[in-house]
Structure 1
């Protein structure tokens, strides 16, 4: 079977806009389904009996929102998530997502490196498909720690600091960063050509007609699954 078709950043942004206009989805719904996909990918990689302690690193944008949602699901799946969310927004949606975690007694930390050393897995939900330019504080040290981490990492949609078209940066903190696993949202991004780990596709909310319009493939989801595992380059296993 041929590898999955990829979707670039402009098409991914246009797809999001269409889903929230003619598609009639709210950003809350899309984030909820994306976060559920991330949590299910984590479960497929290592269930809570094997690796209960998950550090979830969240950026200030939608990728971080997916991480906040994933952490709530992980808690209910039986994991013990800890949140690193240094650049918090006053956006009401993110404040509600944080409050939901606080009500579940999910802890937040300001010390990424220390928390990483006590974790069984790390979820990188810092930057997604809209990232471009330089990595700004406080994230350079975090991405350097991810690159050097002996703790396995699951990245959400894109390894943070990677160029969405080209893959890992030629220089900077993400130069040697290649996470153990990646869950692509809706469809893989072109950066997949530089990725070497386990690869999942999630985000089960797009119909065939929309997929054809934007030039990507709907994975063959089974039963109630929110994810499908592919080879590192998007080929079906």
Structure 2
């Protein structure tokens, strides 16, 4: 099924409506998004290909999705390591971090070194609300993901990309092409410039909400929280 894309403005409006008229809490949406990310990892890179997963998390909701995904990955039998250098003083993120610590999931402050010994990277640094210049320490991290031969799965957007216009013209991320991308709720216009495997996840839209935002509901199967969508099937 062809899936329509959702602009950054409409994605923000949809999230706001889900947490008002839709009666979802941020915790619920983040848990469902992180579960989708974990399933995309399992589909793209099953444990038999290597269990060590390096999860790079930013300070916002995209990073929160990465925190949730890591907990699920631990339960699936992976060995996640967290890179989470900018931790907001926010109860939700503090609780998610505590959960990972209770599961004895390792944290690292040295992304380049951790990258050398991992089997997969999850890019959960910046999502659809990102704009402006990439600052350290994330510029170095994005440059490392850009050049590594280790497979990378990006959450909602390759970090540094503009949601509407794709990769930046210069600087970190100019040539960043993750091997896989999991779009949350709906694909964003940036998929026009994306060349890897593409999944859509986030199984929480009602029929009425999908119709209001002119979205085609993915054909989720059984208990799956994700659907793989060939890029040529996107309506840009």
TM over 0.5: yes
Partner in structure 2 of residue 108 of structure 1:
107
Q: Give the aligned partner of residue 93 of structure 1.
A: 92
1:27-81 CA-to-partner distances (Å, cap 9, x unmatched) read: 0000000000000000001211221000000000000000000000000000000
| Secondary structure of the corresponding residue to residue 47 of structure 2 | coil
2:17 equivalent in structure 1? 18
The residue aligned with 1:195 is 194
Q: Match of 2:231? A: 232
What are the ranges of 5 or more consecutive residues in structure 2 without an aligned counterpart? none
- Counterpart for residue 51 of structure 1: 50
Which residue of 2 is the match for residue 148 of structure 1?
Answer: 147
Give the superposition deviation at 1:235.
Answer: 4.5
Alpha-carbon deviation of 1:232? 2.8
Give the distance between the partners of 1:38 and 1:10, measured in 2 at CA. 22
After TM superposition, give the deviation of residue 209 of structure 1 in Å.
1.0
What is the RMSD computed on CA atoms of the aligned residues?
1.1
Aligned equivalent of 1:169: 168
Gapped regions of structure 1 (runs ≥ 5): none
Matches within 5 A, 1:12-91: 12-91=11-90
In the aligned structure 1, how far is the partner of 2:133 from the partner of 2:105?
Answer: 31
Counterpart for residue 135 of structure 1: 134
Shift of residue 4, structure 1, vs aligned partner: 1.2
Would you say how many aligned residue pairs link Structure 1 and Structure 2? 235
SS at match of 2:204: coil
Q: Deviating runs (4+, > 6 A) in structure 1?
A: none
Q: How does 1:114-125 map to 2 (within 5 A)?
A: 114-125=113-124
Classify 1:175/1:116 alpha carbon distance in 2 versus 1 (closer, same or farther; 3 Å): same
Find the aligned partners of 2:96 and 2:180 in 1 and give their Cα distance.
25
CA contact (8 A) 1:188 1:234 kept: no
After TM superposition, the score normalised by the length of structure 1 is 0.97
CA contact (8 A) 1:54 1:122 kept: yes
